[in-house]
Chains A and B, each alone.
Chain A
Amino acid sequence: MAGFLDRSRTIAPAGYNRWLIPPCALCIHLAIGQVYAFSVFNDPMTRLIGISEPAPGDWSLATLGWIFSIAIAVLGLTAATAGRWLERVGPRKGMFVAALFWAGGFLVAGAGAAVHNLWLVYFGYGVLGGIGLGLGYISPVKTLIRWFPDRPGMATGLAIMGFGGGAMIGSPLAVNLMNAFSGPGSVGVAATFVTMGLIYLVFMMVGAFAVRVPAEGWSPAGWTAPAAPRRLQTTRNVHVDVAIRTRAFWLVWAVLCLNVTAGIGVLGQASVMSQEMVGVSAAAAAGFVGLLSLANMLGRFFWASLSDVIGRKATYSTFFILGLLLYAAVPTLAGWGVAPFVIAYLVILTMYGGGFATVPAYLRDLFGTDYVGAIHGRLLTAWSVAGVLGPVLVNYLREAQIASGVPPAQAYSLTMYVMAGLLAVGLVCNLAIRAVAERNYLPADSAPANA
């Protein structure tokens, strides 16, 4: 088995069809994207003992909230630390190990739910699952960039679109399974965890076993690397340890962090915000959240593909300028009715997803292909920071506004202006990005990282 997982066994034969690679990446990202649908387990997990309603000894929502937080924190830590290992072993072993951790996390969490041990659920879904998330998220990225040097944005956009789509599959799948497994003595959570773990294991293994890396020196038929690449687009490579000491890395880090902060806070509060700002019903608010998920997913493919044409810097500048205008306009648009409010948020959410999907290609442009997987892993710490910053900002500002006597319908206005301000800072960071200094590039004859 170890031999089969070796990088040398994954080198594609001549004439291999590169369009078989994006579905491999989708097998991984569609599975791990389930993490954003974890909240469907929260309510049933507060009734594991009481079944129909929470009983003494049942877990509270606050303690269950830590499961998701641990998983996202471990994702960031794993992506930041395992990138070098992934570069060495290649995508198949990386995806294989990611599948074992992700599915194993579900099985251990299922055992935790069955014996009502919350620490086991934290360890299973949070720690083991989080490691699977981190490994799975970055495993296919470099492989896609190597197969699609002519369209790196589109290729990674496709995979990262899968992460957005994973929640759309994970949510109804979990609900349907819990309905099927629940009965007078069980809410069906443990059996659902186990079943989903097994389904994801098979799905991810298909991707792991099918993935191939291109042979050294391969390039798409009829395509040659441009002799004079665009500005900010290098054909050389920067080592990961050097890249993270450059100004350009930290500016891209800030660009991702600010773009995600602005979107993630809204995403978490979308239901309540739509009810309070434009007065829609709870059911319609759920529909609004569903629409935002679709926009988030489609934006990943659309903007990342567009970045291949207009360039990464122009793409992020569009996110920041358009986002700034829309956030600043939302308090006014909310007064015009539901439709302008919804349309503004849909556009904002496409750019939130687009920010995630375009960043691997931005890194490829700045630092080359050889270490892009590991550099991307380190950059994802920006996501972890934004995951805390965004919701805290939105919640804190709303509460402060209501405490000072502002009606709930207007309580988000200040938040929107603060978000617009964050995007203005992001625009400045993006515009300040320059090619890395000459001394940072590896010599042209240095051995490339394997994967």
Chain B
Amino acid sequence: MSEGANSGGGLKLFGFWLFVMIPLAWGVFETAKRAMQLF
């Protein structure tokens, strides 16, 4: 993550990734719950 990462702000970077990863994680969790029905 280091190359070119000398501005933009660590908090901004973390916040933006969190913004997209929270819905994705929720979707994966819901799908994984459904997948558990296989076992």
Contacts and interface: CB of A to CB of B under 8 A. Distances in A.
23 contacts: A16-B8, A17-B4, A17-B6, A17-B9, A18-B4, A18-B5, A19-B4, A19-B8, A20-B16, A27-B20, A162-B20, A162-B24, A168-B24, A168-B28, A169-B23, A171-B27, A172-B27, A210-B16, A221-B6, A283-B37, A286-B34, A290-B37, A294-B35
A267 interface: no
Interface in B4-29: 4-9, 12-13, 16-17, 19-20, 23-24, 26-28
Nearest to B16: A23
Contacts of B37: 283-284, 286-287, 290
Contacts of B26: 169, 172
Interface residues of B, number: 28
Nearest to B39: A287
A280 B38 contact: yes
A114 interface: no
A212 B24 CA distance: 23
Given A20-B12, A221-B3, A223-B3, A168 B38 contact: no
A50 B8 CA distance: 54
Given A19-B13, A20-B8, A169-B24, A293 B38 contact: no
Q: Is the interface of B mostly helix, strand, loop or mixed?
A: helix
Given A19-B4, A30-B24, 17 more contacts: A13-B7, A17-B5, A19-B5, A19-B8, A20-B16, A23-B17, A26-B20, A165-B24, A165-B27, A168-B24, A169-B27, A170-B27, A203-B23, A223-B3, A288-B38, A291-B35, A294-B35
A14 to B, nearest CB: 8
Contacts of A338: 38
Interface of B: 1, 3-9, 12-13, 16-17, 19-20, 23-24, 26-28, 30-32, 34-39
Interface in A214-236: 220-223
Contacts of B4: 15-19, 220-221
**Range of interface residues on chain A?**
35 or more
Nearest to B37: A287
